[in-house]
Amino acid sequence: MMLLIMIVNCTSYKNGKKISDIPAHSLKSISDILKDHETIIWLALKEPTQDELDLICEEFNLHFLAIEDVMHGYQRIKIEEYGEVIFTVLRTPEFKNDHLHFGDIYLFVGPQFVISIRKNTDNGFINIRERCEKEPHLLALGSGFIFYALVDTIVDRYFPIVDKLEEEFETLEEKMFQSSSSKDQIEQLYNFKQTIMRIKHTLNPLIESVGKLYGGRVPKVCSQTQEYFRDVYDHVFRLEQTVDNIRDMLVTAMQVNLNLISLRESETNKRLAAWAALIGFPTMIAGVYGMNFKHMPELEWEYSYPVILILMASLDIYLYFKFKRTGWL
């Protein structure tokens, strides 16, 4: 029962054409099937257990260090060679509850087999298998083409994620000039920056790894598919450039947001200074005439009180319109 759970699909191919599906109870005979050197097996697994991985390791003669990496999980993106077998660790992105999530994809690619193992993700590759089976002339290129199809699909899954992040950034930019809630804006921009950096940290090793699959010395299984992997490399490079542009614009947006905060504080200080001046002049005059000195001018003058009030009002009116013209009020 455990094997039935972990196997998504297992199919054999020959000369680019599907031969048959291999049921779970026949996995122990895979090594016998592989004795026909023209046969290729494409096995897809999801969340396998240690015992199931041990069985796969034995039947396909996989390196135990690579199996340990699969079991432990959370490996960095990489491509390693164990003899004629390529071991690849990739991350597939997806949004869950508006949060970016990465699933783990492990690929074993040999001259006669391709094994894909999914962990922490529900995004499978059934459509890839169907696409490859509709192109037998390409599937006849061997396991290298299946490897390309899987890597290309995983890379293409980043495009809608990056497009969505671009849209979110544009929304944040618009809000930045419409709202005065600066603290919330900074928090949103910082959270967005963390998401961008997670994408960036995934793409950097991915572009390095894919670059090993075309040009110069390439693994034997990829010798007939170098031009396909060059296309994948171009896709990753374009993604990385887009993410870099978003990151640069994000840094600029954060600086602009801080400048807007300074401008708002400056405007507030100007208004406070203006009102302080409007209150200060009458207070100063009233303070002078409120001193208890016996000999002060205008104390005995009949019109001193209304004149002083008119003077206070005139000064405040003059200052008010002066501040209004300069934009302080």
Per the structure block, which two tokens stand in for 271? 């208004």
Q: Report domain extents, the chain.
A: 1-140, 267-326
CATH number of 1-140: 3.30.460.20
Distances in Å between the alpha carbon of 86 and those of 81, 83, 154? Answer: 5, 8, 17
- pLDDT band of residue 3 (cuts 50, 70, 90) is very low
Q: How confident is the prediction for the chain on average, in pLDDT?
A: 83
pLDDT in tens, 162-218: 999 888 888 887 777 666 556 677 778 888 888 899 899 999 999 988 888 887 788
Helix (H, G, I), strand (E, B) or coil at 225: coil
The residue type at 232: V
Pick the CATH number of 267-326 from 1.20.58.340, 3.90.1640.30, 1.10.3210.10, 3.30.450.20: 1.20.58.340
Helix (H, G, I), strand (E, B) or coil at 42: strand
236-89-128 Cα angle (round to 5): 70
Give alpha helix (H) positions in the chain: 2-6, 30-33, 50-60, 64-72, 126-133, 136-139, 143-156, 158-178, 182-210, 226-289, 304-326
**Phi and psi torsions of 97, nearest 5°:** 55, 45
116-120-126 Cα angle (round to 5): 40
pLDDT of residue 237: 93
The stretch 249-255 carries a mean pLDDT of 82
Torsion 128-129-135-136 (CA) sign: positive
**Phi and psi torsions of 118, nearest 5°:** -105, 140
pLDDT of residue 171: 84
Contact 290, 304 (CB under 8 A): no
Contact 109, 85 (CB under 8 A): yes
Which residues, including other chains, have CB under 8 Å from residue 44's CB and lie 6 or more apart?
7, 8, 9, 10, 115, 116, 118, 124, 125, 129
- pLDDT band of residue 123 (cuts 50, 70, 90) is confident
- pLDDT band of residue 278 (cuts 50, 70, 90) is confident
Q: Is the pTM of this model over 0.85?
A: no
